[in-house]
Amino acid sequence: MSDILEIFMSASFWAAAIRIATPLIFGVIGALICERAGVLNLGIEGIFTAGAMAGWMAVWLGAGLWGGVLVAALAGGFFGLIHAVLTVPLGLSQHVSGIGVTLFATSLSYFIYRTALPDVSSPPRIEAFQSLDIPVLSDLPFLGPALFQQTPLTFLALFLVAATAYVLYRTPLGLAIQAVGDNPAAVESQGLSVYGLRIGAIVAGSAIMALGGAFLTMSAFDAFFFGMVNGRGWICIALTVFASWRPGKALLGALLFGAFDAFQVRLQTEVGSFIPGQVFLMMPYILSIAALIVVARRADYPRALLVPYFKGQR
Amino acid sequence: MARPAKDAPVLLRLDGITKRFGALTANDGVCLDLKQGEILALLGENGAGKTTLMNILFGHYVADEGAVLVSRDGGEPAQLEPGSPHAALDARIGMVHQHFTLAENLSVLDNILLGTEKISALKSARTPARSKLEDLMTRSGLTVGLDMRVSQLSVGEKQRVEILKALYRDARVLVLDEPTAVLTPQESDTLFAILKKLAAAGLGIIFISHKLAEVMASSHRIAVLRGGAKVADLPTDACSQRQLAELMVGHEVSETVRDARTPGATLFILTGISAGEGREALYDVDLDLKSGEILGIAGVSGNGQTMLAQVISGLETPVAGEMRLEGSAFSHANARMMIDAGLARIPEDRHRDGIVGAMTVSENLAIETIRKPDCQRFGLLRFTAMRDKAKAMIDAYDIRCQGEDSPARLLSGGNIQKIVLARTLEGEPKVVLAAQPSRGLDVGATSEVYRRLLDARARGAGVLLISEDLDELMRLSDRIAVIHRGHLSAAEPTETLDRGTLGLRMAGHTMEAAE
Ligand SMILES: Nc1ncnc2c1ncn2[C@@H]1O[C@H](COP(=O)(O)OP(=O)(O)OP(=O)(O)O)[C@@H](O)[C@H]1O
Ligand SMILES: [Mg+2]
């Protein structure tokens, strides 16, 4: 028992939880923006991969780290635009289009990677982001290493949570996005463009999702390899429901998941000798499903989610 | 009613508007003028093209021919960019749609602010908006809690928010598409008082309604559409209700009268039913319905009618009490058991509970009898048989649509109600539950509904008529009970009641006096 307590007392546990949560924060914020506007974006898993590859590739080809981040965002925006055109003006099934985008973005990323590096056996490394050294804060005992020794992308993710909450609740644009996800007719009858808002939200949301992928290759690891996204995108889709489409709760959800994951790794080393390792790997997912069951029954779905809108039609 | 000055400037002009949907001409060369300070009522049958015309005026639809002209700041009317609600709002046209266009997840204030600010602004200017609105609310008498979420509002309050949206943008032309269809009589009175005040202040107002009494009482001028074309444009003083009804339908409308009948045996009984909680709960409700009678349930909506209808249709299980149809108990029934036992219902919210919009008219007509042999064989649907039956029903009930294969959502509101009615009465049910059956129907269709309900009564069915329209209740019911705050009074013969007492009881007065 005391061993378990010790896990929670260690600064490295909290630092790991935040590190694991970072890509999820990007992903869930991006998914939330799309869904608030009424469009489910199942392209997320592929957009993660594209962001991871594009960011890494840009840096490997000589761009600066922030240049790489920008390239990743652009790649995400590009795949978002494909999804937006298919689902908004054309009104196709959002599930089909989203899964299509995931397959397309994933295989295109692998294809480009393989074409650029035909016969490397171990993936080439780049000089990735290093943890920031914030004066005073990073040097605090316990809190410093637990919370403030992270790479700049983690702080960008936290900033995006606050910015998204601000935009959504305090600006005319945010009101319009919330409205278009609830009742597009309300938006049109107030003279705003339903298509413009939805397409914009999907492109912006997808760009943010791609940063989650970029974090993987440019902060967490320093290389790109196949299968590295490993379902993180899907987790974000579930976390969006868990968060009830609210940025603050989205952050909480991502951190909880990060904590579960960091905890299972440490628990494995404590008691791993008599319980198979796979049980621990399952744990964060089982806990997420349990949390979803509790929360999702009361979830406040955007009413127009999944419903295409056609002007001048009943 | 005070008329606008003869030389009042023209605010809005519709010039030869034609709109076609496939083979159907929804508007046919319609010309219409609206003057400053004028209240114009637009009448027409269900499907006559009223909503379509207003949607063109507001830029939701683009006309195939013709133009919308608007005068800006007192100048000569100039053409409005077609197909752009943004341009219409810019020209200070405000529109209250037949179905609410509110974002339910936002507050009242945010709904009104939506689209009025620059989209790139870094902050929503809520504080100045709030004071402008508070001022507007005191001047117009339209009061709503600005911080309430729209999902918490009653229909009457939502209606007020829609009007406030238009006024907040300083509308000079206000269009209201059937604003009173879902309002209680008191709310309608308040609304018209407000509209008159606004017209006196210089707005031009167009409203659509099927209720001739309120049209006569509250308009300066009346325009009538029939089959998409304008067939009359008269000052209100120069017409009578009977004449208007004829103009709309194209022939004389017969008054439906209830003949004297002795009801048969008791068919359907509720004893001590309690259900639900909160605003829409029922407490200890007793009711008995005989065969061959119409029992009216009078009440202002929101007093438990919805729950009563849910319990009777088997959609809600009561917490206490018993329900018997022809002697057998049904206290834990589901909807299918009730249908099989001979209950048919006309739901109150027909868009939500009455039809499946994406399915065709013929599928919607068959939906409650889908397991009967004339619709299926060996578990496979018989589409040809369903279509033939649908064609016959479309004729018999005069459902205006582009054929039995068009999706039900394309039909006008009144015609959707006719689908529900046709389906309900087709199977010769023993008990008919009719909730607000004439809501949104034109005069012709309303008299048709009355006739059908009386036919069902003559056949020996028991009809439970839930309504807040006193004329309707007095005309059709053999007995009337009043529902108030979930309590149902004992039913009394209609002959012993008058409008005054019923009105008071609906407001809850006699309940206290009796205690
Ligand atoms: N977008 C559309 N596509 C196809 N048909 C349409 C469309 N909009 C309206 N219609 C058809 O045009 C006709 C006129 O409809 P409209 O809604 O204007 O009637 P209305 O006069 O408002 O009737 P109600 O009193 O029932 O509301 C109807 O037959 C309707 O089915
Ligand atoms: Mg209409």
Cα B52 to ligand 1 centre (Å): 6
> Of B392, B427, B462, which one is at a domain's C-terminal end?
B427
Cβ of B375 below 6 Å from ligand 1:
no
Are B263 and B325 in the same domain?
yes
Task: Assess whether pLDDT exceeds 70 at residue A263.
Answer: yes
Burial code (b: 16+ CB inside 10 Å, e: under 16) for B304-341 equals: bbbbbbbbbbbbbebeebebbbeeeebeebeeeebbeb
Q: Quick one: what percent of chain B has pLDDT higher than 70?
A: 98
Q: Are residues B504 and B440 in the same domain?
A: yes
- pLDDT at position B513 is 46
Between the CA of B440 and the centroid of ligand 2 the distance, in Å, is 9
Mean pLDDT for B108-127 is 94
Judge contact between A220 and A19, C-beta under 8 A: yes
Q: Which residue has the higher pLDDT, A105 or B340?
A: A105
- Indicate the pLDDT class of residue B299, thresholds 50, 70 and 90: confident
A267 is in which domain, residue-wise?
2-116+148-296
| The residue type at B5 | A
Q: Which residues of A touch B103 (CB under 8 A)?
A: 178-179, 182-183, 186-187
- Closest-CA residue, ligand 1 atom 18, reads B49
pLDDT, residue A283, reads 75
Q: Is the pLDDT of residue B514 over 60?
A: no
The C-alpha atoms of residue A269 and residue B247 are separated, in whole angstroms, by 86
Whether residues B326 and B439 fall in one domain: yes
Look at phi and psi of residue B304 and say left if phi exceeds 0, alpha if psi is from -120 to 50, else beta.
left
ipTM for this prediction: 0.91
Query: Is there a contact between B60 and A173 if contact means CB atoms under 8 Å apart?
Result: no
Question: Measured between beta carbons, which residues in chain B are less than 8 angstroms from residue A188?
Answer: 60, 85, 101
B265 & B316 share domain: yes
- A39-93 residue pLDDT tens: 999 999 999 999 999 999 999 999 999 999 999 999 999 999 999 999 999 999 9
> In a mutational test of the pocket of ligand 1, which residue from B30, B52, B399 has the highest number of ligand atoms less than 8 Å from its CB?
B52
The residue nearest atom 22 of ligand 1, judged by CA position, is B51
Residue A18 lies in a domain: yes
Q: Which residues contact B58 (CB under 8 A, 6 or more apart)?
A: A189, B85, B88, B93, B95, B175
CA distance B162 to B94: 9
DSSP 3-state of A98:
helix
| pLDDT tens, residue by residue, A190-244 | 999 999 999 999 999 999 999 999 999 999 999 999 999 999 999 999 999 889 9
A chain contacts of residue B124, beta-carbon cutoff 8 Å: 170-172, 174-175
Residue B47 has pLDDT above 70, yes or no: yes
pLDDT (0 to 100) of residue B238? 92
With respect to residue A122, please indicate whether it lies within any of the assigned structural domains. Answer: no
Determine if ligand 1 sits within 6 Å of the CB of residue B44.
Answer: yes
* Domain assignment of residue B381, given as a range: 357-427
Does B482 fall in a domain?
Answer: yes
Q: Once rounded to an integer, what is the mean pLDDT over residues A113-126?
A: 88
Q: How many CB atoms lie within 10 A of CB A198?
A: 26
Residue B269 shares a structural domain with residue B150: no
CB contact (8 A) between residue B114 and residue A187: yes
Banded pLDDT at B510 (limits 50, 70, 90): low
Which residues are within 5 Å of ligand 2 (an ion), measured at CB? B 51, 98
Environment class of B482 (CB within 10 Å of its CB; exposed 0-12, middle 13-18, buried 19+):
buried
- Name the token pair of B255: 């008054």
Residue B347 inside a domain? The answer is no
**Domain edge (last residue) among B154, B170, B186:** B170
Any domain includes B377: yes
B277 within some domain: yes
* Residue B222, helix vs strand vs coil: strand
Q: Is residue B327 part of a domain?
A: yes
H helix or E strand, kind and range, residue B11: strand B10-21
pLDDT of residue B511: 47
Whether the per-residue pLDDT at A122 is higher than 90: the answer is no
Euclidean distance between CA atoms B473 and B89, whole angstroms: 41
A-chain residues near B90 (CB < 8 A): 191
The arrangement of strands across the sheet holding B173-177 comes to B93-96, B173-177, B204-208, B39-44, B221-226, B229-235
B63 pLDDT tier (thresholds 50, 70, 90): very high
Flag whether pLDDT at B397 surpasses 90.
no
Give me the pLDDT at residue B512, please.
Answer: 47
In a domain, A227, yes or no: yes
Average pLDDT over residues B328-355: 82
- Return the best residue to mutate from B14, B21, B212, B394 for the ligand 1 pocket (most ligand atoms within 8 A of CB): B21
Nearest Cα of chain B lies from the Cα of A307 at a distance, in angstroms, of 12
Rounded mean pLDDT, B432-440:
88
Q: Do A300 and B105 touch (CB under 8 A)?
A: yes
Q: How far apart are CA B76 and CA B11, in angstroms?
A: 9
Res. B483 pLDDT band, cuts 50 70 90: very high
What is the C-alpha to C-alpha distance for residues A21 and A130, in angstroms, rounded to an integer? Answer: 17
Q: B143-156, pLDDT tens digit by residue?
A: 899 999 998 887 77
A121, part of any domain: no
B471: pLDDT confidence band, cut at 50, 70 and 90?
confident
* Identity at A271, one-letter amino acid code: V
**Domain co-membership, B307 together with B387:** no
Question: Looking at B170, B186, B205, which one is the last position of a domain?
Answer: B170
Is residue A190 assigned to a domain?
yes
CA distances to B16, B17, B113, B248, B274 from B230, rounded to whole Å, are 10, 10, 36, 10, 51
> Per-residue pLDDT for B34 more than 60?
yes
Q: Which candidate in A32, A35, A175 is best for mutational testing of the B interface (most B CBs within 10 A)?
A: A175
Partner residues linked to B206 by β-bridges: B40, B175
At residue A1, the pLDDT reads 58
- B496 and B365 within one domain: no
Q: Does some domain include residue B32?
A: no
The answer as to whether A132 is a domain residue is no
Residue A102 has, within 13 A of its CA and on its CB side, a CA count of 20
Determine if ligand 1 sits within 6 Å of the CB of residue B412: yes
The nearest CA of chain A is from the CA of B410 a distance in Å of: 6
Quick one: how far is CA B480 from the chain centroid? 22
Average per-residue pLDDT in chain A?
91
Q: Does B12 reside within a domain?
A: no
Cβ contact, residue pair A191, B115, below 8 Å: yes
Asked whether residue A183 is domain-assigned, the answer is yes
Q: How far is B179 from chain A (nearest CA, A)?
A: 16
- Angle B471-B477-B480 from CA coordinates, rounded to 5°: 90
Whether B488 is covered by a domain: the verdict is yes
C-alpha A302/C-alpha A197 separation (Å) is 15
Q: B417 with B498, same domain?
A: no
pLDDT at B155: 77
Query: How many domains, in total, are found in chain A?
Result: 1
Establish if A203 belongs to a structural domain: yes
Those residues with Cβ within 8 angstroms of residue B371's Cβ, 6 or more apart along the chain or in another chain: none
Domain count, chain B: 3
Average pLDDT of chain B is 88
Euclidean distance between CA atoms A266 and A248, whole angstroms:
27
CATH number of the domain where residue A253 is located:
1.10.3470
Q: pLDDT tier at A253 (50, 70, 90 boundaries)?
A: very high
With an 8 Å Cβ cutoff, are A176 and B115 in contact? yes
From B18, B406, B412, give the residue whose CB has the most ligand 1 atoms within 8 Å, as the site to mutate: B412
